[in-house]
Amino acid sequence: MNSDSSLRFKRILLKLSGEALAGALSWGIDVRFLDYLSEEVIKVRNLGVEVAIVVGGGNIFRGRSADKDGISRVTADYMGMLATVINALAFQDFLESKGVPTRVQTAIEMRAIAEPYIRRRAIRHLEKGRIVIFAAGTGNPYFSTDTAAALRAAEIRAEAVLKATKVDGIYEADPLLHKNAIKFEKLKYLDLLNKGLKVMDSTAVSLCMENNIPIIVFSISEPDSLVKIVTGHQIGTFVGREEDARQG
């Protein structure tokens, strides 16, 4: 690994939604896309960036939807958290097959397959160049993996939450439905909360705001997006404090 002082961020928290892991599929894991994603992540890790990842589970199971189908919300949420572990193990396997050391840490203990989440140990892994994948969300029902991403970012003192999505930033309206929708280059945390932009839930945004952790929403499908972000290029949408949102 190199260590480059020109890096904009030296420790990042990458949020990969279940949707990202589904790639071109409507459900499950797209192994070809997972292969691509692991290459993208390894590129920034090899620049000397410490990479922690929170994976979602929506490609397999979402608590809120199952709630409607007769499974209680709490049970459904635990099922959703288990889905994130399936994704984490798959992603770990791809990263390790390319020779990169990784650790999965789960918020719900399952020691036979992963370490339990231990903050200091996670930081130690990062310092040693290991990619750490946080799974099972926050370990609590009624939360999301976006909130888990904000929480873990604050705990490990990540310098930014990079939220990978299918679109290249935050738009005033869904760009897939509204062709002329305008993309925001920069936003304040409060804009994200007040404009009703459904990019991240309010708990996650509030946590980032309170801890002054910038959020960058970007498209992971564009090759080298992660490299561009950590080396200081303005891509996607930057969300931060008023003064930071002005400068970017």
Return residues touching ligand UDP (CB under 6 A): 17-19, 56-58, 62-64, 76-77, 80-81, 83-84, 137-138, 140-141, 143-146, 148
* 75 or 234: CB nearest ligand UDP: 75
Question: Which distant-in-sequence residues (6+ apart) come within 8 Å of 111 by Cβ?
Answer: none
d(CA 151, CA 211): 10
Least distance CB 199 / ligand UDP (angstroms): 12
d(CA 170, CA 196): 12
d(CA 74, CA 51): 31
Report the b/e string of 200-239 with b at 16+ CB within 10 A. beebbbbbbbeeebbbbbbebbeeebbebbbbeeebbbbb
Least distance CB 120 / ligand UDP (angstroms): 21
The answer on whether 151 is annotated among ligand-binding residues is: no
* 164 or 230: CB nearest ligand UDP: 164
d(CA 170, CA 199): 7
Among candidate residues 43, 153, 165, the one with its CA nearest the CA of residue 95 = 43
Least distance CB 110 / ligand UDP (angstroms): 15
The answer on whether 56 is annotated among ligand-binding residues is: no
Least distance CB 33 / ligand UDP (angstroms): 14
Cβ contact 235:229 at 8 Å: yes
* 47 or 51: CB nearest ligand UDP: 51
The answer on whether 171 is annotated among ligand-binding residues is: yes
The answer on whether 163 is annotated among ligand-binding residues is: no
* 7 or 204: CB nearest ligand UDP: 204
Least distance CB 231 / ligand UDP (angstroms): 26
* DSSP per-residue letters across 194-213: HTT-TTS-HHHHHHHHHTT-
d(CA 53, CA 104): 9
The answer on whether 17 is annotated among ligand-binding residues is: yes
* 138 or 237: CB nearest ligand UDP: 138
Least distance CB 84 / ligand UDP (angstroms): 6
The answer on whether 196 is annotated among ligand-binding residues is: no
The answer on whether 23 is annotated among ligand-binding residues is: no
Query: Binding-site residues for ATP, please?
Result: 15-18, 58, 62, 165, 171, 174
Query: Binding-site residues, please?
Result: 15-18, 57-58, 62, 77, 138-145, 165, 171, 174
Query: Binding-site residues for UMP, please?
Result: 57, 77, 138-145
